[in-house]
Amino acid sequence: MTHLSPVAQRLRITFGKAGTLRYTSNLDMAKIWERVLRRADLPLLYTRGFNTRPRISLAMPLPLGISSECELLDISLRERLDFCEASLRARLLAVSPPGLSILAIEEVAPRSSAMQSRIISAEYRIHFHDRPERADLQGKIDELLGKESIIVERTRRRKRSVMDVRPLILSLQIDDNADLLAHLSVGDRGNLRPDHLLELLGMDDTYNRIHRSRLHLLAE
Amino acid sequence: MQPGSIERQIERHLLKVEKPGRYVGGEYNSVVKDWARADVKVALAFPDIYDLGMSNLGIMNLYHQVNRRDDMLAERVFSPWLDMETVMRQAEIPLYSLENKRPIRDFDLLGISLPYEQLYTNAINMLDLAGLPIMSRDRDERYPLVIAGGHACYNPEPMADFIDAFVIGEGEEIIVEIAQTLGRLRGQSRHEQLRHIARIQGMYVPRFYDVEYHADGTARAVTPNQPGIPARVLKRIVLTLPKPFTKFIVPNIDTVHNRAPIEIMRGCTRGCRFCHAGMVTRPVRERPVAEIMAAIDEIVRYTGFEEISLLSLSSSDYVWVEELAEEVNRVYKDAGLSLSLPSLRIESASADLLEKIGGTRRSGFTFAPEAATEKMRDLINKYVPDDQVIQTARDVYSRGWRTIKFYFMIGHPDETLDDVQAIIDLCGRTLREGTKILGKKATLNVGVSTFIPKPHTPFQWVPQDTRESVEQKQAMLKRQMRRGGMHLRWNTYDDSEFEGWLSRGDRRLARVIRRAWELGCKFDAWQDQHKHARWRQAFAESGIDPDFYNFRERGLDEVFPWDHIDVGLRKKFLQEDYLMSIRRETRVDCRDKCFACGILPKFAKERSTTDDLAWECPPVTPISQRRRARQVEIPLHAIG
């Protein structure tokens, strides 16, 4: 690779993460993807330099322990691949570790703007193994949502700051299974993780399982 | 315990521990078989954390050998880190396998890998976490048979009271034989099972041997106490290396060596006197280039690993190394693949080799001069002249590598401060060469380890260097070598002293090891976990003098506690080599001249069935054909 190869094609893969794969961090997930793509023998575009890597990027970090059905991965190819979605999905799935599911593959413009900056919110489903009293849970939600502001102290890159996380909670609902459905802001403009939400609700000690069900993107 | 119950139990705790991915399995290429359909179930343990154990080629090999059979299954288990151990003990979760999440107690066989001595306390801790009595004598046939193998087991005696049977030598074939034997003898007494196990060539069952001691504490004799038990246990070897394993488990979390290894050659013909591996892994067996190339191809397809390391004790000595580098370069030049070839000789050709093989990714350059004076180089039988070191460094730096790593060893017999000063000077000269070429970007990393005399080597007779002496030498190194561009690493004397105790230990050490474990010693391989004072306390409480193991100069006629373990070398050969080192005499590469180490006569029959090129030892013609093949020269001393 003596010259910078242009991106011939960019693919966006929507994938799910479940089972034991929940315990793989976002950084390690990138490595898993590199290897899946290499096993699938896709014409990956590599970065230059001594430590060359395939040009792939994951949209939005998924905190450890959380399962998902809406993760996004962009990959750049060095040559065009005329693919049929179903067969490419099958080809990737055949070389994926247990827990990884390939939900959709679409072609996007090679120079489309960074996906990360366009993601504004995420929906989560939180299941409590020891099912709480519905009224009790509703009470906690109402109390939290009733507040005008929720000031929390955060340390980020050794800098302390205070911020109001109340606007980051877009909605909280209880579904028929007594699962908590939370719609929270994510991304650079304000990020509230579901485990932090549980802390705010005073429920961080519960035995629960969190699932990310949807990412909301700004239109390009 | 019900299937699935361990999974449910751990789920509650996993997010509270560091790197929970260590404890859940589920990796690509891991083999989860139907539990009920496997006749013999084998748990393979590496007694350190997942991150380290997953890099162990031995475990992977055995995993494959067992799992490729329909009637057996093999599953992995590693030591939980301290946080997870606390959780498991509190929640009463027994040690379990990563595949089917079954308690280790439910397996027929537990095979523990013991490549180095610092894992002994962890091995015992694993037995305890599994709910097994830690002493061999307290485990009957209701418990899994506990076996151990790996390089440390060439002196099995310190662990003899904990392990039921040791694999002496190479495990690839024997593991299946053990499993089959156990399958056949299900329901029989442990004693009966072990009597059969002991008849498998390469298996050592400590309880069938009695050790007698002289009044001074040295061993008098080790003798079998049962009929039909061999007086000496000859190590097991594979005649040719089995096809390399390629379907590596791809971890879901980062691990220490997150790459796939291919063994290109086993054994070494160099004869460095300090080198345990070089002595115990004879004869030298090489793999054909085509087999390695096929393996690389398979690894890329089966695993997607971006890094492959080509392993051997001395890669430059691999006969077809040039051809291999050419091939790798031709096929994988732009494939985004990184290949590393560690253990290269210090010569200019090494830079060529690594340049070719490195492909689009580059790994570092590591050399092991070991010593820096003529005297020490002769003494250890590893001769690399200064000029060659400097010239090689120049070559490497001038091709754009910024970092070279050197390994040296201090603490050899008869080493003086002048010999240590020479290390400092040589490193200084080397880095100056780098600076001339690269300016301040040139760096030299220097690892200086402390020599530990190992069993089955020519130095098994020598005393280990004292704390006072080693710390004085290290102070010198630290004073002069921590400067711009140079980075020094060394072992603490505590760690070296500890390794010394166990390396040449005997059966009586079981008391000490057990006590140390009771006092909370574990993860002894981790410098920040090793609790030296507690080990000393364990020695004191057991009434055993630790200095007996490290500082005694052993008599030439002394019976060693590991003498009944036959690695194929004649003790006389090791002794000659030891005496030669005292006289500063060296031996050349044994491919050029056979020194009759003993391997060939021990395995003459086997050698006569292998291809001439399969071993580096001279060919042996079967007696029936010898007349017809007069032209084949057999050194008489080699078969006598």
Return the residue in B7, B11, B12, B15 with the most chain A beta carbons within 10 A, the one to mutate for interface testing.
B15
Nearest CA among B350, B367, B338, B388 for reference residue B444: B367
Say if the Cβ atoms of B252 and A32 lie within 8 Å: yes
CA atoms of B250 and B31, how far apart (whole Å): 12
User: Is residue B168 exposed (0-12), middle (13-18) or buried (19+ Cβ within 10 Å)?
Assistant: buried
CA atoms of B625 and B629, how far apart (whole Å): 6
ipTM above 0.85, yes or no: yes
Say if the Cβ atoms of A31 and B21 lie within 8 Å: no
CA atoms of B431 and B437, how far apart (whole Å): 10
- Cis omega (within 30 of 0) for bond into A98: no
> Which positions in chain A touch B361 (Cβ < 8 Å)?
50-52
Say if the Cβ atoms of A23 and B21 lie within 8 Å: yes
> Which positions in chain B touch A94 (Cβ < 8 Å)?
none
Q: What is the pLDDT of residues A178-217, one digit of tens each?
A: 999 999 999 887 899 999 999 999 998 889 999 999 999 9
- For residue B184, the tally of other CB atoms under 10 A from its CB is 11
Say if the Cβ atoms of A64 and B361 lie within 8 Å: no
Say if the Cβ atoms of A38 and B306 lie within 8 Å: yes
Q: Tell me the shortest Cα–Cα distance from B14 to chain A, in angstroms.
A: 8
Count the helices and strands in chain A (H runs, E runs): 5, 10
* Nearest CB to B14 within list A23, A27, A53: A23
Q: Tell me the shortest Cα–Cα distance from B129 to chain A, in angstroms.
A: 23
CA atoms of B340 and B259, how far apart (whole Å): 10
User: Is residue B6 exposed (0-12), middle (13-18) or buried (19+ Cβ within 10 Å)?
Assistant: buried
Residue given tokens 């630290």 in the structure block: B478
> Which positions in chain B touch A55 (Cβ < 8 Å)?
none
CA atoms of B417 and B141, how far apart (whole Å): 56
Nearest CA among B100, B164, B107, B96 for reference residue B133: B164
Q: What type of residue sits at position A219?
A: A
The boundaries of every CATH 3.30.70.580 domain in chain A are 9-112
CA atoms of A144 and A142, how far apart (whole Å): 5
Say if the Cβ atoms of A25 and B361 lie within 8 Å: no
> A154 in the Ramachandran plot: left (φ > 0), alpha (ψ -120 to 50) or beta?
beta
Return the residue in B17, B306, B363 with the most chain A beta carbons within 10 A, the one to mutate for interface testing.
B306
CA atoms of B602 and A141, how far apart (whole Å): 78
Q: Tell me the shortest Cα–Cα distance from B450 to chain A, in angstroms.
A: 33
Q: What fold characterizes domain B5-234?
A: Rossmann fold (3.40.50)
The number of residues in chain A equals 220
* Nearest CB to B304 within list A39, A46, A98: A39
Q: Is the dihedral of CA B101, B106, B110, B112 positive or negative?
A: positive
| B425 contact partners, CB below 8 Å, separation of at least 6 | B372
Q: What is the pLDDT of residues A43-82, one digit of tens each?
A: 999 887 767 789 999 988 899 999 999 999 999 999 999 9
Secondary structure (3-state) at B580: helix
User: Is residue B536 exposed (0-12), middle (13-18) or buried (19+ Cβ within 10 Å)?
Assistant: middle
> Which positions in chain A touch B258 (Cβ < 8 Å)?
31
Q: How far apart are the first and last CA of chain A?
A: 32
Q: Given this model, what pLDDT does residue A202 score?
A: 94
HEC letters along B466-485: CHHHHHHHHHHHHHHHCCCC
Minimum Cα–Cα distance from A46: chain B residue? B336
> Which positions in chain B touch A64 (Cβ < 8 Å)?
15, 20
Say if the Cβ atoms of A20 and B252 lie within 8 Å: yes
Minimum Cα–Cα distance from A93: chain B residue? B28
Minimum Cα–Cα distance from A26: chain B residue? B253
Q: What are phi and psi of B60, to 5 degrees?
A: -65, -40
CA atoms of B487 and B478, how far apart (whole Å): 10
| DSSP 8-state assignment for residue B161 | T
Q: Tell me the shortest Cα–Cα distance from A66 to chain B, in angstroms.
A: 10
> Which positions in chain B touch A52 (Cβ < 8 Å)?
336, 360-361
Q: Tell me the shortest Cα–Cα distance from B391 to chain A, in angstroms.
A: 24
Q: Tell me the shortest Cα–Cα distance from A60 to chain B, in angstroms.
A: 18
Say if the Cβ atoms of A23 and B305 lie within 8 Å: no
Say if the Cβ atoms of A97 and B26 lie within 8 Å: yes
Minimum Cα–Cα distance from B20: chain A residue? A23
Which CATH architecture best describes the domain A119-217? 2-Layer Sandwich (3.30)
Strand partners, A11: A75, A107
Please give the model's pTM, rounded to 2 decimal places: 0.94
Average pLDDT per block of 10 residues along chain B, 640 residues long: 84 94 98 97 98 94 96 98 98 97 98 98 98 98 98 98 98 96 97 97 98 97 96 96 95 93 95 97 95 96 93 93 92 83 85 75 78 96 94 91 94 96 97 95 96 98 98 97 92 97 98 98 96 98 98 96 98 97 95 93 91 86 56 48
Q: Tell me the shortest Cα–Cα distance from A65 to chain B, in angstroms.
A: 7
* Nearest CB to A52 within list B23, B28, B361: B361
Minimum Cα–Cα distance from B15: chain A residue? A65
Minimum Cα–Cα distance from B251: chain A residue? A32
Return the residue in A39, A76, A208 with the most chain B beta carbons within 10 A, the one to mutate for interface testing.
A39
Say if the Cβ atoms of B250 and A35 lie within 8 Å: yes
CA atoms of B408 and B450, how far apart (whole Å): 9
Q: What is the pLDDT of residues A103-158, one digit of tens each?
A: 999 999 887 767 778 899 999 999 999 888 999 999 999 999 999 999 998 877 78
* Nearest CB to B26 within list A21, A39, A52: A21
Nearest CA among B200, B177, B198, B146 for reference residue B65: B177
CA atoms of B488 and A138, how far apart (whole Å): 61
Q: Tell me the shortest Cα–Cα distance from B86 to chain A, in angstroms.
A: 19
Q: Tell me the shortest Cα–Cα distance from B60 to chain A, in angstroms.
A: 18
Q: Given this model, what pLDDT does residue A50 score?
A: 66
CA atoms of A55 and A45, how far apart (whole Å): 6
Minimum Cα–Cα distance from B254: chain A residue? A28
Q: Tell me the shortest Cα–Cα distance from B338 to chain A, in angstroms.
A: 9
Considering only the top CATH level, what class is A9-112?
Answer: alpha beta
Say if the Cβ atoms of B24 and A98 lie within 8 Å: no
User: Is residue B565 exposed (0-12), middle (13-18) or buried (19+ Cβ within 10 Å)?
Assistant: buried
Say if the Cβ atoms of B253 and A23 lie within 8 Å: yes
Say if the Cβ atoms of B306 and A51 lie within 8 Å: no
The domain limits of chain B are: 5-234, 598-640
CB pairs below 8 Å between A and B: how many?
Answer: 80
Token readout for B591 is 């491919």
Say if the Cβ atoms of A24 and B28 lie within 8 Å: no
Say if the Cβ atoms of B336 and A27 lie within 8 Å: no
Say if the Cβ atoms of A24 and B252 lie within 8 Å: yes
Say if the Cβ atoms of A39 and B334 lie within 8 Å: no
Say if the Cβ atoms of B336 and A20 lie within 8 Å: no
* Nearest CB to A28 within list B15, B253, B301: B253
